[in-house]
Amino acid sequence: MRSAPSTFAFTALTLAALARFTAAQCPELGPVQNYTGAGTITCPCFVPGEEALAVFSQVPAADFPIRITKIAIGWGSQNGGALPAVEDALVVYNGIPSGGASPAYMYFAPQLTDGFINEFDISTTAPQAVINSGPFTVGLRFFNQVNVPSGGVYPPSTIEDNGCQSGKNRVKVLSGLPPGFYDGCFLGLSGDWVIHVKYERVSCGGGGVIGTSFCLGDGSGAVLCPCDPGQSGNPGEGCANSTGRGARLGASGIASVSNDQAVLRVEGVPSVASCLFFQGNAQQNGGNGAPFGDGLLCVTSNVIRLGTKNAAGGVAEYGYQIGADIPISIRGNVPALGATRHYQVWYRNAAVFCTASTFNLSNGHTLQWVP
């Protein structure tokens, strides 16, 4: 096989002041895989909606949280040369799925080429597949039926290697057995699925997810979005924008002034929107925020602009090892002994939506900095 400011004069910002979003400099790691060899055995045994899944438990705990950047599926037919096939979705589960589990992430309509390990780059596709701890499970959901041969020849399907390892493979079954998830070896697979992933650490220095979100535009707070009812974002997000969802701001890494490895990350903004990351000493209106543009202004008091990025795929980041970014604690003048600071993202949303304003904001996010 081949592998193939307080009142914020934000509207005065000019394009010349914008810095192009630069992807995180954390190195891509992997591939991580269970299979050995190229794989030569196909499994013509699926109906639409069923899934071939590989369990990944070998990612070091210190690497989490991770962001899956690529998913690869081995795909082949008995005789080769079959036309490309479009299947339902690439699927990602937190943990090992059982019962009625649903994927945490889905990437629809992957086109697979016969005779290849088809690798799909999901690094700029929203939502980003962020996994906070292992194990996790990745695979393919079928759209086409492959358990009935045509002229005695089965169409292409997922590929196995030559030895099945218990606990390394899962199959979602919809027919022939009670619906659910089964261990692949229990079902008689002759090998492990030829599926691999590549990933990057969310924070190059580690430290995991940090901070606390506040001032949500999801309808749970005392102050509603400017165009509610009907403008609430999803749970944990800011007010909805023209994409149909709100922008969610979070952080990862280490919030230490002497060892600053913190990264701010916003997702759910329009695809290539300009995004201004800013910091304040206090939460606006007791943490409830105040209407501003199409969103809620959550941060106030000694506001400092950290940096402006252009989103890629609706995602933007600022902080540790993100291009040439000045560390957050330095850019934000955080005292050496530490302090509590609050963060938010203002972003451009020029589409006709909500008010006449052409911008919106994420939720707020608080970091407690230590020395």
The structure tokens listed for 203 are 């924070």
Residue 209 in this model has a pLDDT that exceeds 80:
no
> Which residues on neighbouring strands pair with residue 226, listed in sequence order?
none
Asked if residue 177 is part of any domain, the answer here is: yes
249 near 296, Cβ under 8 Å?
no
The structure tokens listed for 336 are 């050496």
The domain boundary residue, chosen from 201, 232, 258:
201
18-27, 33-42, 212-221, 333-342: range with highest mean pLDDT = 333-342
Q: Are residues 171 and 250 in the same domain?
A: no
Q: Are residues 219 and 186 in the same domain?
A: no
CB-based contacts of 21, cutoff 8 Å, min separation 6 = 275, 309, 310, 311, 312, 316, 317
pLDDT mean over 99-114: 94
Residue 274 burial class via C-beta count within 10 angstroms: exposed 0-12, middle 13-18, buried 19 and up:
buried
Query: Residue 90: what are its φ and ψ, rounded to 5°?
Result: -80, 135
Give the helix ranges, DSSP H, for the chain: 328-331
Residue with tokens 């009670």: 178
Asked if residue 292 is part of any domain, the answer here is: yes
The structure tokens listed for 245 are 């969802």
Asked if residue 326 is part of any domain, the answer here is: yes
Residue 90 in this model has a pLDDT that exceeds 50:
yes
pLDDT mean over 234-245: 92
Residue 16 in this model has a pLDDT that exceeds 60:
no
pLDDT tens string 272-305: 999 999 999 999 999 999 999 999 999 999 999 9
Q: Are residues 159 and 52 in the same domain?
A: yes
8 near 346, Cβ under 8 Å?
yes
pLDDT at 3: 42
Q: Are residues 193 and 210 in the same domain?
A: no
pLDDT mean over 226-248: 92
CA distance 101 to 180: 9
pLDDT at 133: 86
Q: Are residues 66 and 183 in the same domain?
A: yes
pLDDT mean over 349-366: 94
Residue 1 in this model has a pLDDT that exceeds 70:
no
Q: Are residues 53 and 86 in the same domain?
A: yes
Q: What is the DSSP string of 72-141?
A: EEEEE-SSS-PPPEE-SEEEEEES---TT---SEEEE--EE-TTEEEEEE-TTSSSP-EESSS-EEEEEE
- The three-class DSSP label of residue 35 is coil
Residue 204 in this model has a pLDDT that exceeds 70:
no
Asked if residue 295 is part of any domain, the answer here is: yes
Confidence band for 18, pLDDT divided at 50, 70 and 90: very low
pLDDT tens string 326-343: 999 999 999 999 999 999
Looking at the structure of the chain, the number of domains it has is 2
Q: Are residues 229 and 309 in the same domain?
A: yes
253 near 368, Cβ under 8 Å?
no
CA distance 359 to 346: 7
The structure tokens listed for 182 are 């089964």
Give the helix ranges, DSSP H, for 280-364: 328-331
Q: Are residues 66 and 161 in the same domain?
A: yes
Q: What is the pTM of this model?
A: 0.54
Q: Which has the closest alpha carbon to 357: 298, 308, 293?
A: 293
pLDDT at 124: 83
Other C-beta atoms lying within 10 Å of the C-beta of residue 198: 18
Q: Between these two residues, 294 and 7, which has the higher pLDDT value?
A: 294
Q: Are residues 156 and 39 in the same domain?
A: yes
pLDDT mean over 158-179: 92
CA distance 65 to 250: 13
Q: Which has the closest alpha carbon to 369: 227, 270, 266, 253?
A: 253
Range of the domain at 163: 29-201
Residue 13 in this model has a pLDDT that exceeds 60:
no
Asked if residue 7 is part of any domain, the answer here is: no
Asked if residue 337 is part of any domain, the answer here is: yes
pLDDT tens string 146-157: 766 666 667 889
Lowest mean pLDDT among 41-50, 99-108, 199-208, 311-320: 199-208
Share of residues in the chain with pLDDT > 90 (%):
62
Confidence band for 206, pLDDT divided at 50, 70 and 90: low
Q: Which has the closest alpha carbon to 266: 220, 225, 322?
A: 322
Q: Which has the closest alpha carbon to 131: 103, 172, 107, 99?
A: 103
Confidence band for 12, pLDDT divided at 50, 70 and 90: very low
The domain boundary residue, chosen from 201, 220, 241:
201
Q: Are residues 363 and 347 in the same domain?
A: yes
pLDDT mean over 210-238: 92
pLDDT mean over 8-13: 29
The domain boundary residue, chosen from 179, 201, 223:
201
Q: Are residues 184 and 282 in the same domain?
A: no
CB-based contacts of 229, cutoff 8 Å, min separation 6 = none
CA distance 213 to 195: 36
Asked if residue 17 is part of any domain, the answer here is: no
Asked if residue 47 is part of any domain, the answer here is: yes
Q: Are residues 338 and 244 in the same domain?
A: yes
